[in-house]
Amino acid sequence: MKITEQAAIEMKKENIKEIVKEKYGSIASHSNLLMQQSCCGSSNCCGELEFRMIGDEYDGLEGHHPDADLGLGCGLPTAFAQLKKGDTVIDLGAGAGNDCFVARAVVGESGRVIGIDMTEAMIAKAQKNARQLGFHNVEFILGEIEELPLPDNIADVVISNCVLNLVPDKEKAFNEIRRVLKPGGHFSISDIVLKGNLPENIRQDAEMYVGCVAGAMEKEAYLSVMRKSGLVNIAVQKEKQIAIPDESLLKYLKPSEMEAYKQSGNGIFSITVYAEKEQ
């Protein structure tokens, strides 16, 4: 039987989800040293494509819990999320709970923080961390971002850190974000996007390793999906290029091609984006 193009797309989406679950389940079940193998970690690689994403932005930050920090982020969305005491916050792709605990330090006892993750091992790790910290207003729920197991209009703020690039259907994801936000609520999301065209052999290698650019969209297309979902006042709060060392690029490109690529302005970028749901 001939597989239709749409069926092939759906198969690819499900394959990505299974790879993500397997990869992050493995990370949750082992030592934090595994963060070195994650492409959203502080020191990481994609197959042979080695590059660095974020530094030590969490060091000294109130609410930061080292056991919950698996080095999987590509930004610091809580720093831009305009959190305040009493807020209800949802963290999409909460992992072991790191950003949830940072958010809880701001919203306080009167607030509520809900972490969503589709990996059972991550949920178990996050719940254990919350119990050890004695937090009763931080909860972790198993679920997928494209079908959030939450009621409408529940959140003042939604945050996420280097997760939506791994979600196959971003239109559904942003529709769900809009649905769970209260009227006038907002989000701050750090994520991976692309600018221009990556050299094909670099992209293929990076896509082989979950957490790098697998599922990442071109920046303007990514922002366009937000607008299509009805979100407003969209603004890029922070943007930085993910530097790929010359020695890594030279595994794929001739010296002249490498220089052309570096001068092109194209590449992999970490962005933190803000948007609101209309009143």
Q: Give mean pLDDT, residues 202-225.
A: 72
The pLDDT of residue 252: 81
At residue 262 the predicted structure's pLDDT band, cuts being 50, 70 and 90, is confident
State the DSSP string of 143-185.
Answer: -BTTB-SS-TT-EEEEEEES-GGG-S-HHHHHHHHHHHEEEEE
Determine contact, residues 126/117, Cβ cutoff 8 Å. Answer: yes
**75 vs 234, which has greater pLDDT?**
234
Among the listed residues 27, 35, 193, 52, the one whose alpha carbon sits nearest the alpha carbon of residue 117: 27
Q: Give mean pLDDT, residues 193-201.
A: 80
Q: Give mean pLDDT, residues 254-269.
A: 88
The pLDDT of residue 38: 44
**123 vs 67, which has greater pLDDT?**
123
Domain 5-276: give its CATH architecture. Answer: 3-Layer(aba) Sandwich (3.40)
The pLDDT of residue 68: 61
C-alpha of 89 from chain center: 16
pLDDT at 28 > cutoff 60: no
233-253 pLDDT per residue, tens: 999 999 988 877 888 788 888
State the DSSP string of 126-153.
Answer: HHHHHHHHT-SSEEEEE-BTTB-SS-TT
pLDDT at 1 > cutoff 70: no
Q: How far apart, in whole angstroms, are the C-alpha atoms of residue 71 and residue 160?
A: 14
Give me the residue spans of the domains in the chain. Answer: 5-276
Q: Give mean pLDDT, residues 191-219.
A: 71
Across 18-22, 73-77, 108-112, least confident range: 18-22
pLDDT at 65 > cutoff 70: yes
Q: Is 231 exposed, middle or buried (0-12, 13-18, 19+ CB in 10 A)?
A: buried
Highest mean pLDDT (candidates 14-18, 32-36, 237-241, 261-265)? 237-241
At residue 213 the predicted structure's pLDDT band, cuts being 50, 70 and 90, is low
Q: How far apart, in whole angstroms, are the C-alpha atoms of residue 140 and residue 77?
A: 19
Q: How far apart, in whole angstroms, are the C-alpha atoms of residue 41 and residue 34?
A: 9
Determine contact, residues 90/61, Cβ cutoff 8 Å. Answer: no
> Whole-model pTM?
0.82
